Amino acid sequence: MADPSALPLNGVLVVACEQAVAAPLATRHLADLGARVIKIERPGRGDFARDYDTVVGGLSSHFVWLNRGKESVTLDLKDPDAIAALRRILARADVFVQNFAPGAAERLGLGAAELRREHPRLVHCSISGYGSEGPYRDAKAYDLLIQAETGLVTMTGTPEQPAKAGIPAADIGAGMYAFSGILAALYERERTGEGTALEVSLFDALSEWMGFPLTYAAGAGRAPRRAGTSHPAIAPYGTFAAGDGAEIVLAIQNEREWVRFCAEVLGDEAIATDDRFATGSARLEHRDELHATIDAVFAGLGGEEVVARLGRAGIAHARQRDLVGDEGVLSHPQHTARDRWRTVGSPGGEAPALVPPIGLPGRPLRMGPIPDVGEHTDAVLSEFRKT
């Protein structure tokens, strides 16, 4: 069991008026690092992400992923008494995170200017779809819509068919920038004694993640080629099938690897100097012929033999894995060897959770239970009652 007092954010109080993915992801990372996170939810059903599905002991997989280690307090923010109670909690908070619709925090008296005027040490973080200004300020900003507006959908999928990313990329990007921004603001506060106001939008976050294709397009005057698991500027790169159906992913990125791959994996060093394949540009131009050449060799080999040859030659490669099954990511040998799976408590029983990616030697991060709706309301309101 992690000792919260040994963690970097022990003693930091975070209050979050949050729902869905981006803000809860940011605050869950803060909770993992030892912060106390009070999650404000609407009475009744609470955060609407609780209802996305019911596959984890009756709970939503999104909610289980994003909300461990938090205290749930239900408040009807249309009620002046509830706002007063929230402001009493905020008076002792270090961080306030909100992802209300644009302008809603200000209408509730919870905007950055007002709260920081009253509490200069407060770090106030607002997460929105498109930011507080501009023509898209009030537009709906679900993850898919942001993926479309930033061009990610046009970069994902096969040459014939675009696709959205299979994870909420815009939400995750915004959540991680909010998390890192809050940490930077807390560090600055240690030096200056002053908090600050942060603003993070899903659109800005995912636009930053689109940096390579946007920079390519600005320079070339055209977008990179959409190429499935292949790469618009590197070949061979992507998924290839062995004769037994095993899917192997290659990522050959320099000429030394290319020469070794031809000699030691394909068994024909002459392929490396074939005019069609002798340079990176030539391999891109003749990608179909290159793939056919590789496919012809791999068709006569089992997956284990392909992997063994790649390993002996020191060629970058991976297995293309499903999530479940003996070879799935849930049972990935790297997770197993490093003991990365835990269970956390929840209203639906024990729930699986991966150990957070930030490693502090000798100090396991806090992975607390998932709260029920309003589970901590009475205790928290009593703690922060009017005196």
pLDDT tens track for 180-232: 999 999 999 999 999 999 999 999 999 999 998 899 889 989 888 877 777 77
User: Which stretch of DSSP H or E encloses residue 192?
Assistant: helix 169-192
Confidence (pLDDT) at 49: 93
CA distances from 386 to 44, 228, 380 (A): 25, 58, 12
Give the residue range(s) of CATH 3.40.50.10540 domains in the chain: 4-210+340-383
- Confidence bin at 119 (pLDDT 50/70/90): very high
Q: Please confirm, yes or no, whether 268 is among the known catalytic residues.
A: no
How many other β-carbons are positioned within 10 Å of the β-carbon of residue 15? Answer: 26
Catalytic residue among 32, 94, 143, 171: 171
Distances (CA, A) of 160 to 154, 225, 227, 228: 11, 11, 9, 9
pLDDT of 270-322, one tens digit each? 999 999 998 888 998 899 999 999 999 999 999 999 999 999 999 989 988 88
Which tens digit of pLDDT belongs to each residue from 52-104? Answer: 999 999 999 999 999 999 999 999 999 999 999 999 999 999 999 999 999 99
Of the candidates 375, 328, 336, 382, the residue with the CA atom closest to the CA atom of residue 355: 336
pTM of structure: 0.89
Mean residue pLDDT across the chain:
92
Query: Would you tell me how many other CB atoms lie within 10 Å of the CB of residue 123?
Result: 27
The CATH number that domain 4-210+340-383 falls under is 3.40.50.10540
CATH class of 237-319: alpha beta
Q: Give CATH 3.30.1540.10 domain extents, the chain.
A: 237-319
Please check the confidence at residue 257 and state whether its pLDDT lies above 80. Answer: yes
Confidence of residue 5 (pLDDT cuts 50, 70, 90): confident
- Please name the residue that has the structure tokens 């999650």: 39
Distance CA 315, CA 265 (A): 9
Region for residue 109 given its phi and psi (left: phi exceeds 0; alpha: psi -120 to 50; beta: otherwise) = left
